[in-house]
Amino acid sequence: MEHNNTHSVTIGYVVWIFGFFGAHRFYYGKQITGTIWFLTLGLLGIGWIIDLFLIPSMDAAADRRYASGQLSYTVAWVLLTFLGILGIHRFYMGKYITGALWLVTGGLVGIGLLYDMWTLNEQVDALNREVT
């Protein structure tokens, strides 16, 4: 069986630095706990410290769950993180109409940006699974 390497342990540790906001958990597709970390500052820092040791298993789980393909999860997440309000991640995924909509509305006034934080892995996964 071929091993997918859809997510990066290195990027996981880089975003873990901001993990008390749940960034690494969103990156690995753990939206519910990512939201909990965001609202509680990483379970008041305790969960954030524990996650230092859990990142390799979160990475392995994401690699099993999501399909590799033409689009990179890491690139999509970097674009969402730093340019998400401009919709650049949507342009990267070939979603030009919604990319333009994000561009002129500030990520639909932030609501679309939050939506993408919850669904980006699934969006990339669906596009990577499409047969062209």
**Closest of 121, 16, 1, 131 to residue 72, by C-alpha:** 121
pTM (2 d.p.): 0.89
Both structure tokens of 57: 């298993």
Q: Per-residue pLDDT for 132 more than 70? A: no
pLDDT for 4 equals 84
Q: Per-residue pLDDT for 1 more than 90? A: no
Q: Which 3 state secondary structure label does DSSP give 4?
A: coil
Percent of the chain with pLDDT strictly greater than 70: 95
